[in-house]
Amino acid sequence: MAGITDVAYRTLCREQAAAAVPSGHPGLFVCEMITSRGLVEGDATTKSMLAFDEGESVRSVQLYGTDPGHLGEATKILCGEYGVDHVDLNFGCPVPKVTRKGGGAALPWKRNLLAAILRSVIAAAAPYGVPVTMKTRKGIDEDHLTFLEAGRIAGDTGAAAIALHGRTAMQGYSGEADWSSIAELVEATDIPVLGNGDIWEAGDALRMVERTGVAGVVVGRGCLGRPWLFRDLATAFASDTVRTQLPRLGEVTATMRRHAELLVRYQGEERGCKEFRKHVSWYLKGFRAGGELRHALALVNTLSELDTLLGELDPDESFPVTELGRPRGRQGAPRRSVVLPEGWLADRDDLASVAPEEIGETSGG
Ligand SMILES: Cc1cc2nc3c(=O)[nH]c(=O)nc-3n(C[C@H](O)[C@H](O)[C@H](O)COP(=O)(O)O)c2cc1C
């Protein structure tokens, strides 16, 4: 997730999962999306996002772009220079500045372009033995669904798996994800399907597997301020049982401290603490912490300031169970329309209006 799954947060989430299943696989933790243009043109911010922890034995990166050549070149750089072990392609972003250029969730409508991108990236990754996957949505809107054809193209071109978010671009993040579309894709596709949408608790993950037959699940907003979700998920997948271990506030503050510490390790104290601020309200959602303290935490500048402020919270306060199973992060309402290049829907094979992505695109999915 753009702006969330940097090296610090991936490390924290992996630590949580690994502690739950020391001998099992903790899961795959994907780096924030980076743009192919940023990488090919040597953009400093893009390069700085490609940081990996020494314990990160599987380096997984999501690439975003609209040009097959650029994406292939970027893949070569990722595999050859950054030792990346898995490349995922983003065809799910719904934000207007991305779909306006024909990127993200708009792109699979142009089926030949989707195939050309997959072919180029898969060919570039092949000499390194690196698997390529893609992530997409159901389609642009209910009248312009693309997921079944995308699944066929992914299979035909040699993608290792396809992840489906059960919403259209029009729906944004609103309402409930349509898991039946995920089941439909599983039925229609030969390659493994990963299901995405509304995994708030480990129980949701097991339910999605049971109902749809997916090979795995992709976690989005459910992990915001809740890295311990991965410990519940790892336990659930290792044992087929759900054991939700609810952290008391003391454990939450210790986890917050660890998160901030990791950010500071990778970004320095000033930038790390600034970056940490956005996570505070997610961590404290539903706890009793007062407005003034929350406000001060959202302005924190140093780790010692953070320690003082976290010390004011009651470590014994129990986890607010009312928050369990509830949506968190962005939700909003369905869009009135999906912004697309002129004439986009009229011809599925005309690529004249596809534009290159912004180098620093950070919108995500
Ligand atoms: C802040 C934020 C950033 C995101 N960034 C990305 C991204 O870079 N790539 C991507 O494929 N999806 C991204 N997503 C979408 C999620 O991966 C996921 O598909 C979506 O939230 C639906 O899953 P959920 O209902 O479990 O949240 C992002 C979502 C959020 C809330």
Task: Please say whether the beta carbons of 178 and 166 come within 8 A.
Answer: yes
**Interval between CA 308 and ligand 1 midpoint (Å):** 33
Tokens in use for 195? 């299901």
Whether residue 329 has its Cβ less than 6 Å from ligand 1: yes
- Best mutation site among 1, 168, 226, 328 for ligand 1 pocket (most ligand atoms within 8 Å of CB): 1
Q: What is the pLDDT of residues 41-99, one digit of tens each?
A: 999 999 999 999 999 999 999 999 999 999 999 999 999 999 999 999 999 999 999 99
**Interval between CA 315 and ligand 1 midpoint (Å):** 31
pLDDT of residue 278: 96
**Interval between CA 217 and ligand 1 midpoint (Å):** 13
Round to whole Å and give the CA distance between 209 and 222. Answer: 17
| Index of the ligand 1 atom closest to the CA of residue 92 | 11
Q: Where are the alpha helices (DSSP H) in the chain?
A: 7-20, 36-40, 44-49, 68-82, 96-99, 111-125, 147-157, 179-188, 202-212, 229-239, 249-267, 269-284, 291-297, 303-310
pLDDT of residue 314: 97
Q: What is the pLDDT of residues 249-277, one digit of tens each?
A: 999 999 999 999 999 999 999 999 999 99
**Interval between CA 333 and ligand 1 midpoint (Å):** 16
- The sign of the dihedral angle between the CA atoms of 250, 254, 259, 261 is positive
| DSSP state, residue 6 | S
**Under DSSP, is residue 210 helix (H, G, I), strand (E, B) or coil?**
helix
pTM of the full structure: 0.96
pLDDT of residue 82: 98
Quick one: average pLDDT of 14-25?
A: 90
**Residues taking part in catalysis:** 93
DSSP string, 223-257: GTT-TTHHHHHHHHHHHSS----PPPHHHHHHHHH
| Index of the ligand 1 atom closest to the CA of residue 196 | 23
